């Protein structure tokens, strides 16, 4: 081992600078979690407690530990103190000597401490300056405020002083329209003492020059640091093969390039297209046959490119993986917790397995959070989930002074270098929504930000924007992760430098965030109208389930407009919008818990409409990522999974609508109903489609079968039913269209379609019979109903997910469901016992008149 290290994670204490008493601290962590653990603050996620902890970010805090250094480490020629993350304005002292000052939570911070370290009784002390006290003067100095739409400065007692943009710190810490305001301070990633002598390897990058099934032509870039001149051999090993280079190195840091080629490589594929195979590459610096320095990375070999070719309609926007055009299916990922260090590996695993179980193949790490932990990307690599990676800038304009740009450059280099071996990362994107929000080239365009500034200020703000997103960040990506595409802002048409640049819902180039449904109260049907080349955001809110709501609200708080419920709804218009849409399409819920259930069904229906509209337009549209995958606290939001990882109705709907082979119905035409089969598979779909008109009592009124033959990776309209013909003599309020696609050797793919809005359906109380059984995979539940039971919701005693849930149960068509407990989380699924299960359907939640 060339680097000897000792983690410095023990014996930490902390206090507010002005206080006397040191209290025990946990590292990694932050002031909020430490105070909470000590019972010094109430649970910030409960009730209206968010307000009670806003004093924390106004103070300076100190963390301190003492440590000894083992002989073997102490004896090293070089000793370095390394922080993987300091949040944010921090002055670090070793034995009372100032060794570094940090100002960017996303960077790695290092200091040479050789001359300062003793064998015993070392004191490491970190002074965190309040990010608020630090940045308010910057706002005053600038002379005007910069837009920062989601910064909840008022919650923080700062009035309209939005200072989040000055700090290179997770934007969502300052609040968002789904997130509370907790402006943390602390040592949020590992800290360690590293020692080495003569030589070490700092980094290994496997650059993929050309990869196909016959050959992977790679270059291993080995970053070697030496303290004296050496003549040596550097060796790369992978998969039983070796590649070597003899070099003479002078003291300093060097990048040694070693060509590597692998015949017939096993490629890395996204979920659904093949195995996400990974190779381990090891680099060694040899002294004779002895390795004096080593470094290992795991990566997957694949070719990836964002294809933006002009075509008749505009320009394509899709990812080509190993030569295959991939339809991207997934969601936008936000941080899993307001307090990042609370997210365990198990919680990441649950999220990524949930994504894979839901038939997703992409997550977008959205720019208002943080560059995720290594474990997140490792899991995405392992489960074949592609990652659209934003840089951490969202919905704001940022300063452009030299110090700021310099900080951003370091941050970008640190993170691109850290993450570039992950095969899952397929795109680096500059920011979230800034190009379209500022809309520089359209006077009245965007979110109205420009009107607050005079012409000179506007030009300066835009020049600062361009410096970061059109110059600095693409340069870093090109230099450190060549071959991976950079996209300046999401959404964007393309960098035309004129009014055509900014995205809008009707563009036929670039990516689109379509928020007409929800923020602009457009009807769900408009999801069919605004379909672009790649839908990187669209969403609809719902509430978490009753059990989750009760973690923050008491019985007496259970009203939509109670103080507590409002504190957990961060989108001002949110509750009104949910109610307004619910009145349009669903029956009235009978009480508050029923309202929670209905809100989930409403959200799921909206997202199904959108996802399937997007997929039906394949290959014009080649991606659909809904907003949003997850939550960072228990709240009403657009998430498909709540803070506790409980799947909302949406997650089950997404699983069905993202299925690699989808039977989908377009019911937007007045006179006809169009049936589509869309396939993301690489082999063709061959089978029969059974088409039935079924009454809510189970009576089959019409039954036809059609041969299906759909080419690989394509979609087609199979047929169009004439409504007057198929509904003849039938009551649309009591009849459904049921489609079953049967293929040899695979489970049937089903779909139901109704001819009127849900609140027009004549639902009857259902008698749902549940019987247990077991088969070769384990235990299952068999559900049968005497009449149509809509949106059957199974809720279990044990935490976990069902193989299917929130589905319609048709008399005569029993459904078999399995349970996958959270404890046994992995893929392929392990079938477990759910404990007692409550089974209800929509009719149980409706106010009967």
Q: Which is nearer to ligand BMA, 538 or 807 (CB)?
A: 538
Which helix (H) or strand (E) segment holds residue 696: the answer is none
C-alpha 490/C-alpha 144 separation (Å) is 26
Please identify, among the stretches 159-167, 170-178, 557-565, 729-737, the one whose residues bind ligand BMA according to the rule CB under 6 A. 170-178
Q: Which of 62, 84, 177, 337 binds ligand BMA (CB under 6 A)?
A: 177
C-alpha 259/C-alpha 553 separation (Å) is 60
Residue 432 interacts with ligand BMA (CB under 6 A): yes or no: yes
Residue 178 interacts with ligand BMA (CB under 6 A): yes or no: yes
Q: Which is nearer to ligand BMA, 472 or 632 (CB)?
A: 632
C-alpha 573/C-alpha 586 separation (Å) is 19
Q: Which residues neighbour 228 within 8 Å (Cβ) at sequence distance 6 or greater?
A: 198, 251
Q: Which residues neighbour 102 within 8 Å (Cβ) at sequence distance 6 or greater?
A: 83, 86, 88, 89, 90, 91, 92, 109
Q: Which is nearer to ligand BMA, 411 or 537 (CB)?
A: 537
Token pair recorded at residue 687: 């089978």
Chain residues 314-353 in contact with ligand BMA, contact rule CB under 6 A: none
Task: Compute the half-sphere exposure of residue 69: CA atoms within 13 Å on the CB side of its CA.
Answer: 23
- Supply the minimum distance, in Å, between the C-beta of residue 571 and ligand BMA: 6
Query: CA quadruple 73, 79, 80, 81: dihedral positive or negative?
Result: positive
- Supply the minimum distance, in Å, between the C-beta of residue 636 and ligand BMA: 12
- Supply the minimum distance, in Å, between the C-beta of residue 607 and ligand BMA: 14
C-alpha 673/C-alpha 665 separation (Å) is 7
Residue 57 interacts with ligand BMA (CB under 6 A): yes or no: no
Task: Determine if residue 556 is left, alpha or beta; phi over 0 gives left, psi from -120 to 50 gives alpha, anything else beta.
Answer: alpha
- Supply the minimum distance, in Å, between the C-beta of residue 625 and ligand BMA: 11
Site map 181..220 versus ligand BMA, x via CB under 6 A: ----------------------------------------
- Supply the minimum distance, in Å, between the C-beta of residue 176 and ligand BMA: 6
Chain residues 634-673 in contact with ligand BMA, contact rule CB under 6 A: 638
C-alpha 242/C-alpha 257 separation (Å) is 14
**261 phi, psi to nearest 5 deg:** -135, 140
Q: Which is nearer to ligand BMA, 432 or 603 (CB)?
A: 432
Q: Which is nearer to ligand BMA, 175 or 265 (CB)?
A: 175
Q: Which is nearer to ligand BMA, 283 or 517 (CB)?
A: 517
Residue 151 interacts with ligand BMA (CB under 6 A): yes or no: no
- Supply the minimum distance, in Å, between the C-beta of residue 638 and ligand BMA: 6
Q: Which of 468, 483, 379 is nearest to 430 (CA)?
A: 468
Site map 276..315 versus ligand BMA, x via CB under 6 A: ----------------------------------------
C-alpha 495/C-alpha 481 separation (Å) is 21
User: 176 and 630 in contact (C-beta within 8 Å)?
Assistant: no
Q: Which is nearer to ligand BMA, 211 or 517 (CB)?
A: 517
C-alpha 110/C-alpha 27 separation (Å) is 17
Please identify, among the stretches 174-182, 234-242, 339-347, 812-820, the one whose residues bind ligand BMA according to the rule CB under 6 A. 174-182
Q: What's the full length of the chain, in residues?
A: 849
Strand partners, 257: 221
- Supply the minimum distance, in Å, between the C-beta of residue 520 and ligand BMA: 12
Maximum separation of any 2 CA atoms in the chain, in Å = 91
Q: Which is nearer to ligand BMA, 200 or 364 (CB)?
A: 364
- Supply the minimum distance, in Å, between the C-beta of residue 537 and ligand BMA: 5
C-alpha 474/C-alpha 428 separation (Å) is 9
Using CB under 6 A, count the residues that bind ligand BMA. Answer: 11
**594 phi, psi to nearest 5 deg:** -70, -35
Q: Which is nearer to ligand BMA, 47 or 539 (CB)?
A: 539
Please identify, among the stretches 171-179, 715-723, 737-745, 766-774, the one whose residues bind ligand BMA according to the rule CB under 6 A. 171-179
Helix-, strand-, coil-residue percentages of the chain, each rounded to 5: 20, 35, 40
194, 225, 433, 537: which one is catalytic?
433
- Supply the minimum distance, in Å, between the C-beta of residue 376 and ligand BMA: 19
Q: Which is nearer to ligand BMA, 356 or 610 (CB)?
A: 610
Please identify, among the stretches 19-27, 176-184, 577-585, 731-739, the one whose residues bind ligand BMA according to the rule CB under 6 A. 176-184
Distances (CA, A) of 788 to 292, 546, 564, 764: 71, 25, 37, 8
Q: Which is nearer to ligand BMA, 255 or 520 (CB)?
A: 520
How many CB atoms lie under 10 A from the CB of residue 157? 14
Chain residues 347-406 in contact with ligand BMA, contact rule CB under 6 A: 368, 394-395
- Supply the minimum distance, in Å, between the C-beta of residue 538 and ligand BMA: 9
Token pair recorded at residue 288: 């004779």
Q: Where are the alpha helices (DSSP H) in 342-373?
A: 345-357
Q: Which residues neighbour 527 within 8 Å (Cβ) at sequence distance 6 or greater?
A: 514, 517, 538, 606, 609, 610, 613, 614
- Supply the minimum distance, in Å, between the C-beta of residue 38 and ligand BMA: 32
Please identify, among the stretches 173-181, 202-210, 356-364, 572-580, the one whose residues bind ligand BMA according to the rule CB under 6 A. 173-181
Q: Which of 281, 327, 438, 627 binds ligand BMA (CB under 6 A)?
A: 627
User: 739 and 690 in contact (C-beta within 8 Å)?
Assistant: yes
Q: Which of 640, 694, 602, 654 is nearest to 804 (CA)?
A: 654
Residue 537 interacts with ligand BMA (CB under 6 A): yes or no: yes
Please identify, among the stretches 29-37, 175-183, 186-194, 279-287, the one whose residues bind ligand BMA according to the rule CB under 6 A. 175-183
Q: Is 433 a catalytic residue?
A: yes
Please identify, among the stretches 124-132, 172-180, 193-201, 780-788, the one whose residues bind ligand BMA according to the rule CB under 6 A. 172-180
C-alpha 175/C-alpha 572 separation (Å) is 13
Distances (CA, A) of 236 to 2, 3, 212, 287, 294: 16, 18, 21, 14, 10
Q: Which is nearer to ligand BMA, 243 or 530 (CB)?
A: 530
- Supply the minimum distance, in Å, between the C-beta of residue 514 and ligand BMA: 10
C-alpha 512/C-alpha 314 separation (Å) is 14
Residues that bind ligand BMA (CB under 6 A): 176-178, 368, 394-395, 432-433, 537, 627, 638
Catalytic residue list? 433
């Amino acid at each position: 081992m060339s680097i000897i290290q000792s983690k410095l994670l023990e014996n930490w204490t902390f206090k507010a600078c002005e206080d006397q008493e040191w209290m025990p601290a946990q590292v990694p962590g932050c002031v909020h979690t430490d105070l909470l653990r000590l019972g010094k603050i109430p649970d910030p996620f409960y009730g209206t407690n968010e307000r009670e902890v806003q004093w924390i970010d106004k103070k300076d805090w100190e963390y301190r530990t003492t440590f000894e250094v083992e002989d073997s480490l102490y004896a090293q020629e070089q000793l370095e103190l390394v922080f993987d993350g300091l949040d944010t304005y921090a002055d670090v002292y070793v034995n009372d000597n100032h060794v570094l000052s940090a100002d960017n939570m996303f960077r790695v911070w290092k200091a040479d401490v050789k001359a300062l370290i003793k064998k015993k009784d070392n004191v490491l002390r970190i002074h965190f300056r309040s990010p608020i006290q630090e940045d308010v003067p910057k706002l005053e100095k600038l002379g005007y405020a910069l837009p920062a739409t989601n910064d909840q400065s008022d919650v923080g007692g700062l009035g309209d002083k939005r200072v989040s943009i000055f700090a290179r710190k997770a934007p969502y810490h300052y609040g968002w329209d789904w997130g509370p305001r907790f402006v943390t301070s602390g040592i949020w990633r590992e800290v360690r003492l590293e020692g080495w002598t003569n030589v070490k390897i700092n980094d290994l990058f496997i650059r993929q020059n050309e990869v196909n099934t016959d050959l992977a032509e790679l270059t291993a870039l080995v970053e070697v640091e030496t303290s004296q001149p050496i003549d040596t051999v550097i060796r790369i090993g992978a998969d039983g093969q070796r590649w070597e280079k003899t070099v003479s190195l002078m003291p300093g840091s060097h990048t040694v390039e070693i060509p590597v080629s692998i015949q017939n490589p096993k490629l890395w594929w996204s979920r659904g297209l093949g195995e996400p195979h990974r190779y381990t590459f090891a680099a060694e610096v040899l002294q004779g046959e002895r390795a004096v320095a080593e470094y290992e990375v795991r990566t997957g070999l694949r070719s990836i490119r964002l294809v933006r070719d002009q075509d008749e309609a505009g320009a394509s926007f899709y990812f080509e993986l190993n030569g295959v055009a991939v339809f991207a299916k997934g969601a936008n990922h936000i941080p899993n917790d307001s307090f990042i260090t609370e997210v365990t590996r198990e919680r990441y695993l649950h999220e990524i397995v949930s994504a894979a179980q839901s038939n997703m193949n992409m997550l977008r790490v959205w720019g208002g959070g943080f560059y995720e932990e290594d474990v997140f990307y490792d899991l995405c690599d392992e489960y074949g989930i592609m990652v659209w990676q934003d840089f951490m800038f969202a919905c704001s304009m940022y300063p452009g002074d030299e110090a700021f740009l310099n900080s951003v450059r370091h941050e970008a280099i640190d993170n691109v270098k850290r993450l570039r071996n992950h095969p899952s990362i397929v795109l680096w994107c500059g920011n979230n929504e800034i190009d379209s929000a500022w809309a520089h080239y359209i006077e009245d365009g965007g979110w109205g930000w420009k009107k607050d500034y005079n012409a000179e200020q506007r030009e300066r703000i835009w020049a600062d924007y361009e410096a970061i997103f059109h110059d600095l960040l693409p340069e870093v990506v090109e230099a450190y992760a060549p071959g991976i595409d950079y996209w300046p802002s999401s959404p964007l048409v393309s960098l035309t430098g004129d009014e055509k640049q900014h995205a809008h819902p009707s563009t036929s180039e670039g990516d689109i965030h379509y928020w007409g449904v929800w923020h602009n109260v457009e009807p769900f049907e408009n999801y069919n109208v605004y379909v672009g080349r790649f839908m990187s955001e669209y969403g609809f809110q719902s509430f978490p389930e009753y059990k989750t709501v009760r973690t923050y609200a008491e019985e007496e708080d259970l009203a939509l407009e109670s103080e507590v419920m409002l504190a957990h709804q961060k989108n001002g218009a949110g509750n009104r919008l949910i109610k307004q849409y619910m009145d349009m399409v669903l029956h009235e819920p009978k009480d508050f818990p029923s309202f929670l259930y209905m809100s989930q069904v409403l959200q799921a229906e909206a997202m199904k409409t959108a996802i399937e509209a997007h997929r039906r337009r394949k290959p014009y549209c080649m991606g659909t990522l809904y907003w949003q995958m997850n939550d960072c606290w228990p709240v009403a939001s657009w998430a498909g999974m709540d803070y506790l990882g409980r799947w909302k109705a949406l997650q089950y709907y997404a699983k069905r609508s993202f299925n690699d082979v989808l039977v989908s119905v377009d019911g937007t035409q007045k006179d006809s109903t169009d049936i589509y089969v869309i396939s993301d598979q690489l082999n063709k779909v061959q089978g029969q489609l059974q088409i039935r008109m079924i009454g809510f009592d189970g009576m089959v009124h019409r039954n036809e079968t059609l041969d299906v033959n759909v080419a690989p990776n394509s979609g087609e309209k199979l047929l169009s039913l004439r409504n007057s013909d198929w509904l003849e003599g039938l009551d649309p309020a009591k009849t459904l269209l049921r489609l079953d696609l049967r293929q040899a050797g695979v489970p049937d793919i089903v779909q139901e379609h109704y001819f009127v809005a849900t609140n027009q359906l004549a639902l009857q109380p259902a008698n749902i019979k549940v019987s247990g059984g077991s088969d070769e995979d384990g235990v299952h539940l068999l559900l049968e109903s005497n009449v149509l039971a809509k949106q059957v919701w199974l809720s279990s005693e044990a935490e976990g997910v069902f193989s299917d849930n929130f589905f319609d149960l048709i008399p005569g068509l029993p459904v078999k469901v399995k349970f996958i407990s959270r404890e046994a989380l992995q893929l392929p699924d392990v079938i477990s016992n759910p404990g007692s299960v409550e089974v209800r359907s929509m009719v149980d939640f409706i106010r009967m008149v």
